[in-house]
Chain A
């Protein structure tokens, strides 16, 4: 019952928020009150409110859709995984324990009620949640001697449930596994890759733009187009073969920096192509503008024009993607992690799916939706910081 109250309050809140934002932006409220109207028509406040509101709706939508898709499968198996020696218990004890476990996990009631429960768990505010672990101790003949229950309570900011089916992570909290263990591996590789792709992509793009139709430009263009055309897996293996020939170790090992290089460079060299392409294109666009002609007329050196005038204008549309590339490094990639056997977050999705672990799958969806929303917002903020022309009022 409590779940339904929470759920309907949530829905009412969301509807109210959406109506409020729409209303403020259309000027429905505060018609008589000029002061209030002035506060609420502050462009930055209105913009942030609208963005946070729409981001919230997007995350809810993504989570609900995947939740319903994942939940289309049976949930009875969870009890069997959660209770040790379940097959040796008396049936009535098992049924009782099973219903308690399902209750704690929010798997009872209608699917809408379950969804509300899940939203209650993932909403970021402090809460205490408990779960009961049950196991049956048996003697040598296989008869039950004790039924042991252990209550495990914990304070959460955000609860993503427990893992039941993935070997090696049984009864671990999804949030712990994702943040404490998996994300570290993905982020480590991802950060080196981001440094490589930014560190090589920008200079390469500038060089290509500077010597347009030169040898370097032609080689660069061929590389970019080839990377675009060939399927990802094909060129990942081409890179892997090259790294093997050079003598880099290609199996990932925790703590050995040399083994991080092959996957990180594969990712970096791939990402670099896209960055170089766009840097080149935006720089060439800027070359025709009046301020460049004026700078030339003033007699500035080509390098000065290039770096203090053109590049600063050309990077404005590009910096938006920098926070995203750093944040998405947390999530890892499916292909690279599988190819180089990195125990990261991308691999967890595949393992969780193969093991039919609902909570791990759902947890990954929540985390990746949050990260993509945050990176979008941060991209806007970065653009506004870099470009003095942008004001939020125009959006």
Chain B
């Protein structure tokens, strides 16, 4: 060290640096690799072993929800009388023919049906419903939340709406709405999306209020940015990490919400469609203490399904935080 300092004092630069000369081409080039936000995000994500386990788990469950019923080739619905339903003796414990056992006699439509087939059909519909609802909720929540945060004039109406939803038991709203509607896929999507976006919208609104008066936004406003540009270029990209955190948990939450509705018979009719929630509800109305496999069958898919989605969401939230990049 002392030697280096001595060299510096002596202005002996030739020992410290090598002179390469000037080059017009080299000046234009960037030495560091170009930074891409999403590439860096996924690089971070693949470094996390938990995320990889979750992705594999989700992929397995999705594949099984397609392949699962096909393995056994049992029919659970008659498809308008074109095929015969495969009915077994009720309360069969898991065996070579029925890998998850068969439905109990108090399980309504599911009495004597093969639980393996039911569970994978249920997974398919639950996943589909959860994904569609999560997408719609996210879209509406982002759109309305950003408008709500940016235009403060919307506050009185939106806060009143939020108070209304908070004051009335949500189950009562579902019950009353379901009385007027038939139980098709899109009705259920409509009912569950009706107020589902409010949570995300309120969250986005609070976040936008926090950052909307930062210097860079005021500078942007002074330069004459339109509200649309402000929201899409300044506010939402800043919040991307926070948004991904909330959105990634939307799918498991939608699946859970459907389970909750099923518990009060507000979901599909069991004789038309099967979901994991209905299987769980049917099992709990049967004597599951004596025949635990009735309850275990839906649980063994439902619990990993929601947990893997949730953990993947959290891992994605860590990875999307630009502070953790590089």
Residues of A within 8 A of B (CB): 54, 57-59, 61-62, 65-66, 69-70, 72-73, 225-226, 228-234, 237-238, 244, 331, 334-335, 338-339, 349-350, 353, 361, 364-365, 368-369, 372-373
Contact = CB atoms under 8 A, between A and B. Distances in A.
B194 interface: no
Contacts of A238: 299
B310 A228 contact: yes
Nearest to B311: A225
B256 interface: yes
23 contacts: A54-B163, A57-B160, A58-B164, A61-B163, A65-B168, A66-B176, A73-B179, A225-B311, A229-B310, A230-B302, A230-B303, A231-B277, A231-B302, A233-B281, A234-B299, A244-B289, A338-B264, A349-B169, A349-B172, A361-B172, A368-B167, A368-B168, A369-B167
A205 to B, nearest CB: 18
A233 B280 contact: yes
Contacts of B249: 228-229
Contacts of B281: 233
B164 A335 contact: no
Nearest to A64: B164
Given A230-B256, A230-B303, A234-B302, A334 B171 contact: yes
Q: From DSSP, what is the main secondary structure of chain A's interface residues? A: helix
Interface in B278-297: 280-281, 284, 288-289, 295
A316 to B, nearest CB: 18
B192 interface: no
A232 B260 contact: yes
B99 interface: no
Given A61-B160, A62-B164, A372-B167, 4 more contacts: A230-B256, A335-B260, A349-B169, A373-B167
Nearest to A228: B310
Interface string B169-181: 1011101110110
Contacts of A338: 263-264
A361 B289 CA distance: 33
B252 interface: yes
B189 interface: no
Contacts of A66: 168, 172-173, 176
B168 A229 contact: no
A335 B169 contact: no
Nearest to A66: B168
Contacts of A373: 167
Contact of A234 (B172, B264, B303): B303
B273 to A, nearest CB: 18
Contact of B260 (A233, A339, A353): A233
A230 B168 contact: no
Contact of B167 (A58, A69, A350): A58
Given A234-B299, A372-B167, A350 B264 contact: yes
A65 B180 CA distance: 15
A253 B16 CA distance: 87
The 8 tightest CB contacts between A and B, nearest first, are: A229-B310, A231-B256, A231-B259, A369-B167, A58-B163, A62-B167, A69-B176, A229-B306
B176 A70 contact: yes
B191 interface: no
Contact of A233 (B173, B252, B263, B307): B263
Contacts of A228: 249, 310
A237 B171 CA distance: 20
B166 interface: yes
A231 B164 contact: no
Given A228-B310, A229-B306, A364-B172, A65 B164 contact: yes
Contacts of A70: 176
A368 B177 CA distance: 19
Given A61-B160, A365-B172, A231 B260 contact: yes
A226 B307 contact: yes
Interface in B260-283: 260, 263-264, 277, 280-281
Given A61-B164, A231-B306, A335 B176 contact: no
Nearest to A345: B169
B255 interface: yes
A72 B180 contact: yes
Contacts of B160: 57-58, 61
